[in-house]
Amino acid sequence: MSLTLDGIDIQKVHTCKYLGIRFDDQLTWRNHTDYIYNELKQLSEIFYRHRSKLAYKWLQSVYYAFVYPYLLYGTEIYAKTYASYLHGKQPF
């Protein structure tokens, strides 16, 4: 079965990024939460390396510039998933 819109075939994909949020075909948000986790993991390593070199005020500014947007943007949408998806386990 194929889907056509204005003569253009629409392909089914497993994941799609739209406005910075990664949707998957089952709406489990697994791909998006994994992406957020990996980004925050990289940023936490940067904080760990520079924690003694930068003043608290600078670290706080960097946090609100780079980390906080990842945590805040879209949480109303993907935070309604199974708790087990947020912890890396399947619900079944």
Q: What is the pLDDT of residues 36-69, one digit of tens each?
A: 889 989 988 888 888 888 888 988 998 899 889 9
Confidence check: pLDDT of 92 > 50: no
What angle (nearest 5°) sits at the alpha carbon of residue 78, between those of residues 21 and 4? Answer: 55
Residue 65: the pLDDT is: 92
Do 85 and 92 touch, CB atoms closer than 8 A?
A: no
For residues 82 and 92, give the distance between their C-alpha atoms in angstroms, rounded to a whole number. Answer: 10
Q: What is the chain's Cα-based Rg?
A: 18
pLDDT, residue 50, reads 85
Higher pLDDT, 35 or 89: 35
**Residue 62 in 3-state DSSP?**
helix
Average per-residue pLDDT for the chain: 83
Share of the chain above pLDDT 70, in %: 87
